[in-house]
A = this chain, B = another copy of it.
């Protein structure tokens, strides 16, 4: 890593007049950005991806300095980020995301004659994205929320996370430059630095949506602002998750040692600073995995947390967990030397967990997890019922146990956005079928996802056109399928033209 750091000083906070300019700019950009063809916006996303890839060395160096994350992890995260931008470009070109729907006039329609109606999705308008600390690329300035909103056709203001301010400014420079060079409307993208102006932006009537990844208290505060406005706006907060993992007796028997080491690996990946970190491992009483878990945990050396605020919160979290009655620390490590920390694993039982749910079912962000023994299937189900919303829930079982496991999966499906059979919840692939969301407090909007191609849907709203002449209709709704996209015509999906 020898690339020079181009941003050497911590940027100063956005001023009131700068914020006013940014808001005016995204507001002015909304109509021209919405007017671009989907394929043109796909070109913008690719231009941003190319610019970030070209600056990879510089960006990764900055990210390492500011986040303490390792180079390999950061390079992988940047790859994911630019892949995501390009994948969303493909989604724009495929065109299903528009949900183009055409009902030609029908005098025989069952409830009475139907006029010609044509419906599609259009952009919501300027969006404020609150970047996360733990993903300096993938959930930050040019991350998933930004990619989603731009793909939808919404100008974006990103509120930079204070954990990587120089990286944020440099990424924003690259994004703005790439957009401009690719012909995006002026004002399509801007960066806000500082807490106060970040909050102020969400209150501005020109802003039509907000998006956030972070803690429950911060997310709740912003959600309340968005919902409390004179004109309430959607607010997509991805907040807290415990990500329970249930291990059946059959799985313990078949591959207990592998599960023990996989568990510790997932808990400590990225120093436990993932929203999908498994915070609870449910194992049958008499599982005999203590030694294997402990051995795996001892092998994990100390690693550096993102920043002092995370370290302080983590220290408080494990103090609370360890202090609960009826729990036994298997291995315990508070941060030392400021940010350096090893894993903490605590043992308890389902009855203790349920009795102290307020303490033990609270997310502890960092490399800590609880191993919880359940005494029979009824205790396992009782534990599953105690959860509120989660991003993920995982079951390690044997297919021969399917009948006994089905009721557990039913309970978990009501409480999580992604259900895993085997494997570990960390590592969220950006695909068509990914769901990264879930009931509160996993997110503030369980109808949506913040990862995967359908994340774009968050920034779109439907509009119908009734008996509109073709020259005044958006191209996607012309009789001739100009864009070659899947459309629902008379209730049936087709890529055919509409017959006159």
Binding site for B on A (CB under 8 A): 30-31, 35, 76, 79-80, 83-84, 86-87, 90, 94, 96, 99, 101-103, 109-112, 114-115, 117-119, 122, 124-125, 208, 223-224, 227-228, 231-234, 388-389, 399, 402, 405-406, 409-410, 413-414, 416-423, 429-435, 437, 439-441, 444-449, 452-454, 457-458, 460-469, 471-472, 486, 488, 490-493
Residues of B within 8 A of A31 (CB): 410, 414
Bound CA–CA A409/B34 (angstroms): 14
Chain B residues with CB under 8 Å of A76's CB are: 112
Main secondary structure of the interface of A (DSSP, over half): mixed
Residues of B within 8 A of A118 (CB): 433
Whether B447 lies near A417 (C-beta < 8 A) is no
* Given A80-B111, A119-B433, A419:B232 Cβ within 8 A: no
CB–CB A435/B464 < 8 A: yes
In the bound complex, CA of A434 to CA of B432 (Å): 26
Contact of A462 among B84, B96, B410, B435 (CB under 8 A): B435
Q: CA A96 – CA B410 in complex, angstroms?
A: 23
A464 with B419: CB separation less than 8 A: yes
Q: Which residues of chain B come closer than 8 Å to A119, judged between CB atoms?
A: 432-435, 452, 454
Q: Is the CB of A447 within 8 A of B461?
A: yes
**Min CB–CB distance A424 → chain B (angstroms):** 10
Protomer copies: 2
A491 touches B419 (CB 8 A): no
Query: Given A417-B463, A431-B109, A493–B493 Cβ distance below 8 Å?
Result: yes
Residues of chain B within 8 A of A465, CB atoms compared: 418-421
List B contacts of A453 (CB < 8 A): 491
- Whether B472 lies near A402 (C-beta < 8 A) is yes
B84 close to A111 (CB less than 8 A): yes
Chain B residues, CB < 8 A from A468: 419-421
Residues of chain B within 8 A of A419, CB atoms compared:
463-466, 468
* Residue from B110, B125, B441, B445 in contact with A414 in the complex, judged by beta carbons closer than 8 Å: B125
Q: How far is the CB of A65 from chain B (nearest CB, A)?
A: 24
In Å, the complex CA distance between A462 and B490 comes to 26
- Closest-by-CB residue of B relative to A117 is B433
For A79, what are the chain B residues with a Cβ–Cβ distance below 8 Å? 111-112
Q: Would you call A491 and B117 a contact (CB within 8 A)?
A: no
Q: Which B residue sits closest to A459, measured CB to CB?
A: B447
Closest to A419 in B: B465
Chain B residues, Cβ within 8 Å of A233: 440
Residue of B nearest to A233 (CB): B440
User: Which residues does chain B contribute within 8 Å of A423, judged by CB atoms?
Assistant: 115, 466-467
Q: Which residues of B contact A439 (CB under 8 A)?
A: 208, 231, 461
Q: Closest 8 CB pairs between A and B?
A: A435-B464, A227-B227, A119-B433, A117-B433, A83-B111, A101-B433, A231-B440, A103-B433
